[in-house]
Structure formats: C-alpha cells, structure tokens
Structure 1
Amino acid sequence: MKRTTKFLMGLGALAVTGLVLVSADHIDAPSSMGTTADIADFYAFEPSENSDNTVFIVDVQSNVLPELAYGNFDEDVLLEINIDLDDDLIEDKVIQAIPRNGRMYFFGPAEPSQTGLNGSILIDAPLGDVEISSATAIVETTSDGVSLFAGPRQDPFFFDFFQFNAVINPDVASAPGGFLAPDTAADTFDGANTLSVAVEIPNNLLGTPTATNALGLTVYNTWVTSNRKQ
C-alpha cells in the first residue's frame, strides 16, 4: 500500500487537562491532496485529567459539504495510527481502520508486519468494528473498553481563508488592517464536514512510552498515515 503521513508528536497519558494539540493543514502531498486518502486532521489527547485512556481522531476528506451527498470512506484506503514507544520515531504499534460494506473495521494495537512506507492489514489482531454513522452518531465499545466511531463530523478547522489570501497578497492595500478580530473573522469551513475515525483506548493496550516532551511529560510519539491499495 502507498502511504501518506501526517505527524503529531509528543502527546500522551500525562497531557495537560483539556489541552488538545493539533496537526492540521488540510493540504497533503500532490498524490493524495483532494483524494479519499487526504488526511485533514489528527488529534491525540487525554479525555480527562489523569485518565487511563488516550483518544485518537483522524479526519479525512475535508471537502465534504452538507448540501452535497456525504463523501464515503474508500475501501481501498487503510488508515493507520502509528505509535512509537521508545522515541526512535519508528512505529512499535499500530491501530488500523478500514471500511467494508458500511462498517469500519479496526485492528491492533499490535506490532506492524513492516514499518516505513508500506503496510498490510493485521487480520490476526482484530480490535472491533462499528457501523459507519450517517444522521445519528453510533459508538461501539468493546469488551476491552475500547470505544470506536466512524462517520461525518463538522470540520473543526477555523480559518478565514479569504482574509488570509488578502493578507499574503503582495498588494499591501488588499488587507491594510491585517487579520480580522475573532468576532469579525469568517469561518470559511463553517458547515463543511470531514469523515472522522475515532478510537478511545486504554493506555495498557498501547504499552508504556519512554519519550519525554518539552514539558518533561512522558508521552507517546504518534502519527497517522493513509495507505492506498496498489
């Protein structure tokens, strides 16, 4: 499978309460930008202070608009959450998600069969599955305490796209006041949707991290990849 990657480094079980660090640019490599393998956002965070769980959320296909039919998860695209436990920036465990016939199937967390640019489905490590939501959000919780979701969600990315273009315009007169204040800025992505995959998982299923971030907290290094069947 061909892989595209988005990184979110240094989040883990000791993250500050309520703090969500985001790696979001809505623009991927030319081979995946605007396709069903396009990664829009990746989040990893504690659901509450001193929680024993970690939540991973992957958003793809950021151009799903409400006045159009919802986009569909691509059955040829495998989403993979990569988890580095020993701070060498090589995945030690992965959580995978792939759709089939209206359901999202999850595998892992388990050691990948291969690291780097290629991936294969860990069919010997099923985690669970959930019906892909449409009008109503559906969450499945496994016997191991893992909660799973897949379906459309409103795009969380707030960005005044047109004012941004005015600011970076070489003609300084195009935006003499610079960026607009929050109460006057326009959210260009308001009403648009992404397709989201969410996993809340006990940390004891992930393993013990050894990396330390800038705050001195022990963390997981984690990133997400999309893998297209070749």
Structure 2
Amino acid sequence: MKKSKLFMGLGALALVGGLLVAADHIDAPGVTNTTADIADFYAFEPTEGSDNTVFAVDLQTNVLPDLAYGTFDENVLMEINIDRTGDLVEDLVIQAIPRNGKMYFFGPVVPSETGLNGTVMVDSPLGSVDISAETAILETTADGVSLFAGPRQDAFFFDFFQFNEVIGGTAPLGFKPAGDPNTSDDDDETAVDTFDGANTMSIVIEIPNSMLGETTAVNVLQLPVYKTWVTTNVKQ
C-alpha cells in the first residue's frame, strides 16, 4: 500500500536552466530560521559535456559557523520540480525529507498532485545519505546518483550594506564592484561579501540525465537545459 503524507507549500524559488534568476535570503518572516526558508537553487553540469545534472538547494541561510549547526526540520519536505512540456507545471519531481539523522530522496517520478499540495512518493525511493556535520558525507547509489545533505558555506555573494546605500541613494557615485577591471584597490576594499563565513543547510543531488529525459528548454546562452524550480512544504 502506498504511504503518503499531505504537505502544504510554503515557499518556492525558480530557476530556468543553469542560470540563477532569483535569491531569497532571510526575508520570508513566516519561515526564517527554519529549513523551509529557501535561500538559493542551482542547477548545472558538473563538468562541460557531462551527462549528469547537479541540483543544489540551499536552505536556512545565515547559520553562522560560530553557532551550532542548523538542523533539517523533519516536518519539511523539499521538492525539486521539473517541467518537461513548457507549461510551468511540474512533470517530474525529486523529493527529500529527513528522518533520524538521514536524508531520504525519492524520484524522479511523475507527481500524483501538482502545485503546492503534494504527497511524499515513498514508493519511488532514490537513495539516502547520513546528514553531514563537520565532515562531509557523500553517498553514491547503484544508479550513479550522488547525494549530500548538511551544512555548506553560503555560495551567494552579496554586499547587503552597499545595497542599502544604493537603495537609499547614499552610495558613492564612483563605486564599482570588486572584480571590475576598472576598480581601484580602494574600491575593492568597499565591496564586502555579507554572507562570507555564513552557512546554509544544503541538499545536493548529482543525477544522470537519462533519469530526467531529454532537455526541453534553452537558456540565455542557447544551451539545452531543464526548466526547474524548488519548493518547501510543511506537514499539515
């Protein structure tokens, strides 16, 4: 008998192909400081010409390294959604949910329901991995799927204080971001990565494209990609 639990969607972050088009850091009051809070979602080839795709979901940003590591909430289901027909409705889902120190993955499978309400596809196991702490743990299944869950340094670069100055109209007129070829040493010193040293709670899946089917979209670089987004859902 199929076992399932009903979840209510709390948040979503969209990504088309391998280019990040949105970020959501510590600005969702209803889910802040929980792993229902989506920070970033990345999808990319691990190496050029690879037949695999990597999905990386960063949750609960600003888990600072001098504090205790965050934990995955066992009431939160994370779901990677893949649209294969261009209608922005998920045709395949990959799900992850923690239980007793392990992260369990399911899919990719056609969902029984679409949208923010869904069920855990426990009859479609993909694999599991121990949730990492100080030492990263990676599990590779017999199907060639690699799985990770645990804290990682936040990869998002953002100067929050400079952003506030730009919005407030008080930023120096000559300011240039670090890395600009026309930036002076003095300018470099004004650009600070607010998230440097911060952690996220992350799940990472590297999966053969053969399990996802043919790509059905192209990105701005005209490269074939999957149209995909991520949601978090909390048990009712």
- Which residue is equivalent to 1:155? 154
Residue type of the partner of 2:209? N
Counterpart of 2:92? 93
**1:220: how far off?**
1.1
Identify if the C-alpha distance between structure 1 residues 7 and 28 changes in structure 2 by more than 3 Å, giving closer, same or farther.
Answer: farther
Match of 1:187 among 177, 190, 193: 193
Counterpart in the other structure of 2:184: none
Shift of residue 189, structure 1, vs aligned partner: 1.0
Is the 1:84–1:209 contact (alpha carbons within 8 Å) kept by the matching residues of 2? Answer: no
1:7 is aligned, of 14, 28, 42, to 14
Q: What is residue 76 of structure 2 aligned with on the other side?
A: 77
Shift of 1:132: 0.5
Which residue type is aligned with residue 157 of structure 1? F
- How many Å separate the matches in 2 of 1:9 and 1:60? 19
Match of 2:183? none
Distance 1:186 1:46, change over 3 A: same
| TM-score, normalised via structure 1 length | 0.89
Pair 1:177-2:205 in alignment: no
Task: Give the CA deviation at 1:85.
Answer: 1.1
Query: Of 180, 187, 205, which residue of structure 2 is paired with 1:199?
Result: 205
Contact 2:34 2:73 in 1 (8 A): no
Shift of 1:30: 4.1
Q: Does 1:226 align with 2:232?
A: yes
Q: CA deviation at 1:203?
A: 0.4
Shifted more, 181-190 versus 122-131: the winner is 181-190
Structure 1 CA distance for aligned equivalents of residues 84 and 218 of structure 2: 11
Q: Which runs of 5+ in 1 are unaligned?
A: 12-19
Shift of the 101–178 alpha-carbon distance from structure 1 to 2, 3 Å rule, reads: farther
Partner Cα distance (1:28, 1:87) in 2: 29
Matches within 5 A, 1:17-166: 21=20, 23-27=22-26, 29-166=28-165
Question: 1:16 matched to which residue of 2?
Answer: none
State how far apart, in whole Å, the 2-side matches of 1:113 and 1:28 are.
31
- Cα offsets for 1:17-47 (capped at 9, x unmatched): xxx5453231554433443300001000011
**Which amino acid counterpart does residue 145 of structure 1 have in structure 2?**
G
Distance 2:176 2:58 in 1: 27
Q: Which moved more, 1:53-62 or 1:154-163?
A: 154-163
Specify the code of the residue in structure 1 equivalent to 2:196.
D
